[in-house]
Amino acid sequence: MVYMKSRLMVYKAILWLHITRLERYKYGFLNMILIDVMWYLIFLLGALMFVPSNEYLTIAVITFWGIVLWVIMNNSVWLIAGWTWFALASGLVEEHFLYNVNPLIFIAGRFLTGISVTLATIPVVLTIFSSIAGSYIFYVYSPVYLGLGMILMLIYSTLYSLILVALSLRTSVPGVMLDVFNIFMYVGGGIGVPVARMPEALRYFALAMPYTHAAEILRYGVLGLKPYYGLENELIIASIYIIVLATITYIVIKIVMKYVRRHGVRAIGIM
């Protein structure tokens, strides 16, 4: 039996695997982008029907960037965490244990698939949205904060996905729960709606979510909308959330891996 000795070799193998899969399942990849775009449009065109004509352009821009953040979160959750089901069904998790490779590193490699789908989806949605909102959609108040908001979202959603993967190996989270949570996050998690526009009860919930702070920074970058707690405070809160989420992810992975090595695994999507 050949054991993988070097960590670098492990990372290279995982990277190779995910790139090969991306190439092998190219139709599925394109299909994912198409499906994503269409689902977003169905709901957004519906939501835009609520908006009065005089606010239409501003709301279309807020909605578009909310969608971009949601694409990042949704793809991380489904293409990383949701994929656990497939990895388990094909016996790949146990296989990695046997070769002394943490299966979470292998599953986390799906980040590559997630980011590829996200990067391909955004221009398509942008093109379609520009036909609705015109060139106004391309206007950016501060590219630095726009980029920062997106990077923050990417970090939060990847860490959240890893927590989900780890938890699912231990507890079995039904796949529908992920959908429910993702949908709720768009409205209640401050991704699609500025905190200031939210009803008060929902506002407290939204402010407790890390995504909200990434979204508030991004909205400042796009439209110059002042974040709910002010820009400087939002930056501090966003940084604290990174540390907290990273610590939680590390602890959860440690505990779950110890448990799983002894008792075996369960997964997201098991119905």
Partner 1 sequence: MRYVLAVMKANFYLYIHELKNNRGFAFFMLFWPYLIAFFLFGLGTMLGSIEEYSVRMNIANPILYILASSSIMLSSISIVDNVAGELLRHRWIGTLAYIVSSPPRLIIYAIAGPIPSTMFSSFISLTSILPAVLYFEGLLGGLKLFLILMFIYLAMVPLIGLAVVVGGLSLVVREESNVAGFLTPFILLVSGVFYPQTILPYVLQLIGKAFPLVYVVEATKILATYHYPPLNMLYPLIGILIGMSILYNLFTTPGMFLVEKKVLERGVYEE
Binding site for partner 1 (CB under 8 A): 21, 25, 27-28, 31-32, 34-35, 38-39, 41-43, 45-52, 55, 59, 62-63, 86, 89, 174, 176-177, 180, 183-184, 186-188, 192-193, 197-199, 271
The enclosing H or E element of 67 equals: helix 56-76
Structure tokens at 203: 């506002």
Closer Cβ to partner 1, 24 or 254, answer by number: 24
Structure tokens at 108: 């986390």
Closer Cβ to partner 1, 123 or 174, answer by number: 174
Nearest approach, Cβ of residue 100 and partner 1 (Å): 26
Nearest approach, Cβ of residue 151 and partner 1 (Å): 25
Closer Cβ to partner 1, 35 or 208, answer by number: 35
**CA–CA gap between residue 70 and residue 217 (Å, rounded):** 15
Closer Cβ to partner 1, 188 or 227, answer by number: 188
Nearest approach, Cβ of residue 47 and partner 1 (Å): 5
Closer Cβ to partner 1, 165 or 206, answer by number: 206
Structure tokens at 209: 């979510």
**CA–CA gap between residue 69 and residue 75 (Å, rounded):** 10
Contact yes or no for 38/8 (Cβ under 8 A): no
Contact yes or no for 101/12 (Cβ under 8 A): no
Nearest approach, Cβ of residue 150 and partner 1 (Å): 21
Nearest approach, Cβ of residue 240 and partner 1 (Å): 27
Nearest approach, Cβ of residue 155 and partner 1 (Å): 25
Q: What is the 3-state secondary structure (H, E, C) of 244-265?
A: HHHHHHHHHHHHHHHHHHHHCC
**CA–CA gap between residue 169 and residue 58 (Å, rounded):** 43
102: which DSSP letter? -
**CA–CA gap between residue 49 and residue 106 (Å, rounded):** 43
Closer Cβ to partner 1, 47 or 252, answer by number: 47
